[in-house]
Amino acid sequence: MEKEAKIYVAGHRGMVGSAIVRALEKEGYHRLIKRSSKELDLRNQSAVADFFAEEQPEYVFLAAAKVGGIVANNTYRADFLYENVMIQTNVIHQAYVQNIKKLLFLGSSCIYPKLAPQPLQEDYLLTGTLEPTNEPYAIAKIAGIKMCEAYRSQYGCNFISAMPTNLYGINDNYHPQNSHVLPALIRRFHEAKIAGVNEVSIWGTGSPLREFLYADDLGEACVFLMQNYNEAQFINVGVGEDISIRDLAFLVREVVGYTGELSFDRSKPDGTPRKLMNIDKLHALGWKHTTSLKEGITLAYTDFLSKPIED
């Protein structure tokens, strides 16, 4: 990827997109094309077509998506399916129409079957039933993967896909209902600390195991893959180790400095029992994450404190 190349980062204001921008700028790429959702509605087919025709990007990082935690995924099922399918379909198709050099599509580890063997290998896609609570989002992401594969097969497009594990970091979403588990814990412990609350209740049993990757590590992995990976099959991006929600809660409590008690509400859903990515392919290419979980949570908490809290 040439240093003078025009690069479009779709979703540059989000957690993943902004991490990709930082990684690109760190390596000296400066001709970055950015559009906020107010400037360009990626759900609008004609608007996306006009944008690609005018800007003529050479490379595309497709990080734009409607995202959320278990509550948001299960509540806004139609929105998660419709908006994500529209966003990725419009961008992928116009990347083909304008004959761009390469596109990287970002999926999610939720694409794998709920009870797939662990760790999750790329070959496990579509071998079982999805987790019901985030099925619409997962189906949208699977459609994006298959679109990239199909455009590569039929038209010879160099479209690749990367499947990151659970993410957190700078510019994360801390909404009280629609956030993922790690940012939700950061906010809850912080607010409990400020309010002097003696106990914080955590959804579920605390037993599910999750893998967490700092977003800036993912940003660097995306740039690495754009430079070094050209295969049809998507590739997992993760850290290769997981942690229970219970242990994660105690780690976040430590970083935030909350001294109250924790309880676990067993009436709430746990979601998928375990989601650990097999990252042998990525390691074989020569890339590995550099940010430890505690270090990343500390950086994320610092970022949280620097921003106004969303109601």
Enter the tokens of residue 47: 């608007």
- Angle (deg, nearest 10), helices 77-97 and 45-55: 30
Q: Give a yes or no: residue 118 inside a domain.
A: yes
Q: What are the φ and ψ backbone dihedral angles of 66, each rounded to 5 degrees? A: -90, 120
How many whole angstroms separate alpha carbon 142 and alpha carbon 82? 13
Q: Which of 59, 137, 174, 214 is catalytic?
A: 137
| Among candidate residues 181, 101, 85, 86, the one with its CA nearest the CA of residue 133 | 181
**pLDDT of 146-202, one tens digit each?**
999 999 999 999 999 999 999 999 999 888 776 788 999 999 999 999 999 999 999
- 180 annotated as a binding-site residue: yes
Q: Give a yes or no: residue 196 inside a domain.
A: no
Q: Give a yes or no: residue 226 inside a domain.
A: yes
User: What's residue 173's pLDDT?
Assistant: 87
Average pLDDT, the chain: 94
Q: Give a yes or no: residue 61 inside a domain.
A: yes
120: which DSSP letter? B
Q: What are the φ and ψ backbone dihedral angles of 169, each rounded to 5 degrees? A: 145, -155
DSSP string computed for 34-97:
---TTT--TT-HHHHHHHHHHH--SEEEE-------HHHHHHSHHHHHHHHHHHHHHHHHHHHH
Sign of CA dihedral 141, 228, 242, 261: negative
> What residue has token string 């039933």?
129
Question: Structurally, how many domains does the chain consist of?
Answer: 1
Q: Give a yes or no: residue 247 inside a domain.
A: no
Those residues with Cβ within 8 angstroms of residue 222's Cβ, 6 or more apart along the chain or in another chain: 20, 23, 61, 63, 104, 106, 162, 237
- 14 annotated as a binding-site residue: yes
Residue type, 25: E
What Cα–Cα distance (Å) separates residue 246 from each residue in 239, 262, 263? 19, 9, 10
Burial label for 82, CB within 10 Å (0-12, 13-18, 19+), is: middle
Give the HSE-up count for residue 156: Cα atoms under 13 Å, Cβ half-sphere: 1
Q: Give a yes or no: residue 165 inside a domain.
A: yes
The CATH number given to whatever domain includes residue 40 is 3.40.50.720
**pLDDT of 116-144, one tens digit each?**
999 999 999 999 999 888 899 999 999 99
- 57 annotated as a binding-site residue: no
Enter the tokens of residue 182: 């790690």
How many whole angstroms separate alpha carbon 264 and alpha carbon 260? 14
User: What's residue 183's pLDDT?
Assistant: 93
Q: Give a yes or no: residue 255 inside a domain.
A: no
- 17 annotated as a binding-site residue: yes
Q: Give a yes or no: residue 178 inside a domain.
A: no
Which residue segment(s) compose the domain that 112 sits in?
Answer: 7-172+212-239+276-291
**pLDDT of 40-96, one tens digit each?**
999 999 999 999 999 999 999 999 998 776 777 778 799 999 999 999 999 999 999
- 218 annotated as a binding-site residue: no
User: What's residue 175's pLDDT?
Assistant: 82
- Angle (deg, nearest 10), helices 181-195 and 245-256: 40
Torsion on CA atoms 274, 277, 280, 284, rounded to nearest 10: -160
Does 151 participate in catalysis according to the annotation? no
How many whole angstroms separate alpha carbon 24 and alpha carbon 21? 5
What Cα–Cα distance (Å) separates residue 86 from each residue in 23, 56, 178, 250? 27, 20, 21, 39
- 85 annotated as a binding-site residue: no
* 311 confidence band (pLDDT: 50, 70, 90): low
pTM: 0.93
Those residues with Cβ within 8 angstroms of residue 96's Cβ, 6 or more apart along the chain or in another chain: 151, 155, 157
**What length is written for the chain?**
311
User: What's residue 275's pLDDT?
Assistant: 84
Given a cut of 90, whether residue 308 has pLDDT beyond it is no
What Cα–Cα distance (Å) separates residue 267 from each residue in 111, 179, 264, 270? 26, 20, 9, 9
